[in-house]
């Protein structure tokens, strides 16, 4: 559903006026007088790609021979912009690198920062996130140095957009608010303010903080009251769609439908932004489906699908087919529901976009229950893969910032030393620096190897838990069948025989009936013993089911005690009915304990760690305490590990509380809502 937010502008190339433009060029010489003509023609959307590319090359040939001054760099940026607009990425990259080189040679900080921003845009377009982030970060540092607040805000916005697209929502939020703080102090920046509010609305919607999402989308909509913002970008339709989409996720379907209808009524929407038109149309049809208003359905779904298919919008095609599958599922047409969901799954796999595949899997496992287990396993695997990739990217962004700052600090220190040291010591300094870098690299390689081994081990444990849970479930079913068969074939048959025999005693004399009655009572005792034996078997099975999860936890605790010096104390409430706790909750609790222990080992410097499971009314409570150095929860920003703990608790519909202070240790409490049957019960069944 996130694809509804990405608004692209389609440039239609019309092959007209070429002959007239050629005549102009034939009369123009390769001189500076013709530079403006070449640049103008290179930006003419009515010309074919080949013509525009040739004119831009001719403009570049003139500029390259000019003196390396500010005007020269302005003209080079114009050439780069035109290559960007025509998606000639190779030429765009070469031109931008040339600008950066000339800016460094002339020590032109402003154009150097701008060139870094252009490189960030290039790597964003090519989906190379780490390189894009590094160049935006370099631009940010230069703009900070020269105190160019306006371009600094634009760089923060570009960086925040990149972080959002890579799933690093926390850092994206920080970057966008940095941009907002600057822009609110300036005038005539409403277009940038709109982008900030719009992106914050999208971000909070993804985090299911819907009230905040609506607040920022309304702010964005209010910004559009400024008449200086061009209407041909269809930003109002964009905001109306986004507000409708938030209401759609809040299940306020009637209100969502109203906003989508308003969006479709925007003047020239289909002509000026066809892609946005298909998004709003598809969302309107979906909200009507949720309201069970069948007027116009499935025609509106098919119209959106047809336009998306004609424009080559593959992610949009996947979404349309998912919605059609939901429509036919609602209409009880199972064949078409499965057919469209399978088409969506095949198309999403060809795109290799995990989010699209997850949406398709979620739908197909709903309409195809026979194969639901296979789709569910694939969904779990891909979802974990996506979360791991987003976490790795967030760590990579943080590492790039750290390493860039570290390199900058090292360079500054070296420059200061070179001012005071004589050339005799220069060689010694270089040798020492080489040795330091070599040792640092060795240490990093060892750390990286350890992290890789740890990730592999974590994955193995996770897979083991899944397989063991499946085996446990299979064993449970097998034992139930066995008990049912024993009761039916053995106990019930014998009891029926005894009952018939006892009924027959009424027809004979008491003297003959007495010994037979004694015989049948003896048979009833034997049946009672058999039932008791079956009951004991069931209790043993139940104990084994509970102990499997506890054994896995104890294995984790054993590894902790073998590797680290801190004393680990574990406590389990004996009244918790683990067999009634779902596998999903168990896996998430295991991951939370694993992450918490890792944080204790890396940062806490604790002598004692206490892990305890308790049962409260309506809640299963996990508490993890360490007597380490602690931290200030108000000043310390949450790291990725704590975000993962909060995410996994949210997966279980639970809550996380962290209590800590400098020198007071840390207490982590996770409360997961559970069925009343799992709570503390003294009358065991």
Please compute the mean of the pLDDT values over residues 479-493 and round it to a whole number.
62
Predicted pLDDT at 238:
92
Predicted pLDDT at 534:
66
Q: What is the DSSP letter of 638?
A: P
DSSP string, 169-208: HHHHHHHHHHHHHHHTTSSS-HHHHHHHHHHHHHHHHHTT
Which domain-ending residue is among 367, 385, 407?
A: 367
Question: Considering the chain, what is the average pLDDT of its residues?
Answer: 79
Taken in order 549, 551, 555, 557, the sign of the CA dihedral is positive
Ranking 37-41, 69-73, 513-517 by mean pLDDT, the lowest is 513-517
Predicted pLDDT at 255:
92
Does residue 656 sit in helix, strand or coil? strand
Please compute the mean of the pLDDT values over residues 450-477 and round it to a whole number.
64
Cα 460 off chain centre by: 23
Query: In sequence order, what are the beta bridge partners of 660?
Result: 666
Which domain-ending residue is among 326, 346, 367?
A: 367
- Residues 115, 124: Cα–Cα separation, whole Å: 14
pLDDT over 70 at 470, yes or no: no
Q: Which residue has the tokens 């099975």?
A: 541
29 falls in which pLDDT band (50, 70, 90)?
very low
Predicted pLDDT at 407:
46
Does residue 683 sit in helix, strand or coil? coil
Give the residue among 235, 256, 243, 240 at the shortest CA–CA distance from 214. Answer: 243
Is residue 218, in this structure, part of any structural domain at all? Answer: no
- Residues 249, 449: Cα–Cα separation, whole Å: 42
Rg of the chain (C-alpha set): 34
Q: Which residue has the tokens 């007071």?
A: 664
The C-alpha angle with vertex 475 and arms to 472 and 478, in degrees rounded to 5, equals: 155
pLDDT over 50 at 641, yes or no: yes
pLDDT over 70 at 648, yes or no: yes
Query: In sequence order, what are the beta bridge partners of 673?
Result: 619
Contacts of residue 336, defined as CB under 8 A and 6 or more positions apart, other chains included, come to 324, 325, 328
Query: In sequence order, what are the beta bridge partners of 655?
Result: 671
Contacts of residue 270, defined as CB under 8 A and 6 or more positions apart, other chains included, come to 277
Predicted pLDDT at 385:
73
Predicted pLDDT at 246:
92
Looking at per-residue pLDDT, the higher value among 243 and 225 belongs to 243
Predicted pLDDT at 413:
52
Ranking 10-14, 98-102, 190-194, 380-384 by mean pLDDT, the lowest is 10-14
Domain that residue 31 falls in: 1-107
4 falls in which pLDDT band (50, 70, 90)?
very low
> CA 11 → CA 230, 236, 314, 322, distances in Å?
17, 20, 18, 28
- Residues 288, 323: Cα–Cα separation, whole Å: 11
- Residues 275, 311: Cα–Cα separation, whole Å: 8
Please compute the mean of the pLDDT values over residues 645-651 and round it to a whole number.
87
Phi, psi of 657 (to 5 degrees): -125, 130
Is residue 356, in this structure, part of any structural domain at all? Answer: yes
- Residues 590, 644: Cα–Cα separation, whole Å: 12
241 falls in which pLDDT band (50, 70, 90)?
very high
- Residues 317, 350: Cα–Cα separation, whole Å: 12
Predicted pLDDT at 625:
93
Please compute the mean of the pLDDT values over residues 470-486 and round it to a whole number.
66
Please compute the mean of the pLDDT values over residues 181-206 and round it to a whole number.
87
pLDDT over 80 at 189, yes or no: yes
Predicted pLDDT at 231:
74
Predicted pLDDT at 468:
64
> Treating both helix axes as pointing N-terminal to C-terminal, what angle do 109-125 and 129-146 enclose, rounded to 10 degrees?
160
Ranking 183-187, 413-417, 520-524, 530-534 by mean pLDDT, the lowest is 413-417
Structurally, the chain folds into a number of domains equal to 3
pLDDT tens by residue, 124-151: 888 888 888 889 888 888 888 889 888 8
Predicted pLDDT at 11:
26
**How much is the pTM?**
0.51
Predicted pLDDT at 679:
55
Predicted pLDDT at 10:
27
Please compute the mean of the pLDDT values over residues 65-74 and round it to a whole number.
86
DSSP string, 99-165: HHHHHHHTT-HHHHHHHHHHHHHHHHHTT-HHHHHHHHHHHHHHHHHHT-HHHHHHHHHHHHHHHHH
- Residues 330, 334: Cα–Cα separation, whole Å: 9
- Residues 128, 369: Cα–Cα separation, whole Å: 39
CATH code of the domain in which 671 resides:
3.30.565.10
Is residue 242, in this structure, part of any structural domain at all? Answer: no
Which domain-ending residue is among 82, 107, 132?
A: 107
Longest dimension (CA), the chain: 135
> CA 128 → CA 133, 134, 372, 397, 517, distances in Å?
9, 10, 35, 12, 88
pLDDT tens by residue, 404-437: 555 444 544 545 556 666 666 778 878 888 888 8
pLDDT tens by residue, 337-390: 888 888 888 888 887 777 778 887 887 888 888 877 877 887 788 777 766 665
pLDDT tens by residue, 220-238: 889 888 777 777 778 888 9
Q: Which residue has the tokens 């199972």?
A: 334
Give the residue among 280, 281, 290 at the shortest CA–CA distance from 241. Answer: 280
Tell me whether strands 608-616 and 655-660 are parallel, antiparallel or unpaired: unpaired
pLDDT over 70 at 19, yes or no: no
Dihedral of the alpha carbons of 508, 512, 517, 522, in degrees to the nearest 10: -140
* H or E, element range at 672: strand 666-673
Taken in order 507, 512, 514, 519, the sign of the CA dihedral is negative
pLDDT over 70 at 188, yes or no: yes
Phi, psi of 138 (to 5 degrees): -65, -40
Looking at per-residue pLDDT, the higher value among 160 and 400 belongs to 160
Is residue 257, in this structure, part of any structural domain at all? Answer: no
480 falls in which pLDDT band (50, 70, 90)?
low
403 falls in which pLDDT band (50, 70, 90)?
low
Tell me whether strands 608-616 and 619-626 are parallel, antiparallel or unpaired: antiparallel
Is residue 550, in this structure, part of any structural domain at all? Answer: no
Is residue 54, in this structure, part of any structural domain at all? Answer: yes
Is residue 568, in this structure, part of any structural domain at all? Answer: yes
Is residue 78, in this structure, part of any structural domain at all? Answer: yes
- Residues 305, 101: Cα–Cα separation, whole Å: 47
Predicted pLDDT at 282:
92
Q: What is the DSSP letter of 492?
A: I
pLDDT > 90 in the chain, percent = 12
Please compute the mean of the pLDDT values over residues 85-103 and round it to a whole number.
89
Give the residue among 453, 418, 447 at the shortest CA–CA distance from 559. Answer: 453
């Amino acid at each position: 559903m996130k694809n509804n937010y990405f608004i692209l502008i389609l440039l239609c190339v019309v092959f007209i006026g070429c002959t007239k433009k050629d005549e102009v060029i034939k009369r123009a010489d390769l001189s500076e007088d013709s530079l403006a003509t070449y640049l103008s023609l290179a930006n003419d959307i009515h010309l074919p790609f080949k013509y525009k590319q040739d004119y831009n090359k001719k403009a570049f040939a003139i500029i390259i021979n000019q003196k390396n001054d500010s005007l020269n760099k302005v003209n080079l940026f114009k050439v780069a912009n035109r290559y960007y607009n025509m998606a000639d990425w190779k030429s765009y990259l070469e031109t931008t690198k040339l600008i950066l080189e000339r800016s460094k040679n002339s020590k032109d900080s402003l154009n150097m920062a701008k060139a870094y921003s252009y490189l960030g845009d290039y790597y964003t377009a090519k989906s190379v996130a780490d390189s894009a982030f590094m160049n935006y970060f370099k631009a940010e540092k230069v703009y900070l140095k020269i105190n160019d607040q306006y371009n600094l805000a634009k760089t923060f916005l570009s960086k925040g957009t990149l972080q959002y697209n890579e799933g690093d929502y926390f850092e994206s939020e920080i970057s966008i608010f940095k941009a907002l703080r600057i822009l609110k102090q300036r005038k005539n920046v409403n277009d940038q303010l709109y982008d900030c509010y719009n992106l914050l609305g999208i971000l909070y919607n993804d985090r299911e903080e819907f009230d905040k999402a609506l607040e920022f989308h309304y702010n964005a909509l209010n910004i559009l009251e400024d008449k200086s913002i061009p209407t041909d970008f269809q930003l109002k339709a964009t905001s109306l769609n986004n507000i409708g989409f938030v209401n759609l996720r809040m299940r306020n379907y009637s209100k969502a439908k109203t906003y989508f209808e308003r969006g479709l009524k925007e003047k020239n929407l289909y002509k000026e932004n066809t892609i946005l038109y298909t998004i709003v149309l598809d969302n309107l049809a979906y909200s009507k489906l949720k309201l069970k208003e069948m007027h116009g359905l499935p025609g509106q779904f098919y119209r959106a699908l047809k336009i998306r298919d004609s424009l080559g919008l593959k992610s949009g095609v996947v979404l349309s087919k998912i919605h059609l599958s939901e429509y036919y599922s609602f209409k009880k047409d199972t064949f078409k529901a499965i057919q469209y969901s399978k088409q969506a799954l095949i198309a999403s796999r060809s795109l290799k976009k995990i989010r699209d595949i997850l949406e398709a899997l979620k739908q197909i496992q709903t309409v195809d229950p026979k194969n639901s287990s296979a789709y569910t396993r694939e969904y779990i695997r891909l979802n974990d893969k996506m979360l791991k990739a987003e976490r790795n990217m967030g760590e990579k962004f943080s590492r790039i910032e750290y390493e860039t700052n570290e390199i900058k600090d090292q360079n500054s220190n070296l420059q200061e030393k070179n001012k005071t040291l004589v050339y005799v010591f220069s060689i010694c300094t270089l040798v020492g620096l080489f040795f330091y870098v070599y040792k640092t690299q060795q240490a990093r390689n060892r750390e990286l190897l350890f992290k890789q081994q740890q990730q592999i081990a974590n994955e193995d444990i996770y897979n083991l838990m899944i397989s063991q849970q499946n085996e446990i479930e299979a064993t449970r079913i097998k034992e139930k069948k066995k008990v049912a068969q024993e009761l039916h074939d053995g106990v019930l048959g014998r009891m029926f025989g005894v009952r018939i025999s006892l009924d027959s005693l009424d027809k004979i004399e008491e003297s003959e009936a007495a010994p037979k009655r004694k015989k049948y009572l003896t048979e009833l005792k034997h049946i009672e013993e058999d039932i008791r034996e079956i009951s004991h078997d069931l209790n043993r099975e139940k104990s084994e089911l509970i102990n499997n999860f506890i054994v896995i936890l104890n294995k984790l605790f054993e590894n902790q005690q073998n590797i680290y010096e801190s004393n680990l104390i574990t406590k389990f409430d004996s009244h918790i009915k683990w067999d009634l706790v779902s596998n999903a909750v168990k896996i998430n609790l295991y991951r939370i304990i694993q992450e918490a222990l890792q944080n204790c080992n890396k940062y806490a410097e604790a002598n004692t760690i206490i892990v305890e499971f308790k049962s409260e009314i309506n809640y299963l409570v996990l508490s993890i305490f360490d007597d380490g150095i602690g931290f200030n929860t108000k000043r310390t920003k949450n790291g990725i590990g704590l975000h993962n703990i909060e995410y996994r608790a949210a997966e279980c519909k639970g809550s996380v509380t962290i209590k800590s202070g400098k020198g007071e240790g840390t207490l982590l409490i996770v409360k997961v809502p559970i069925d009343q049957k799992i709570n503390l019960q003294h009358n065991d069944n």
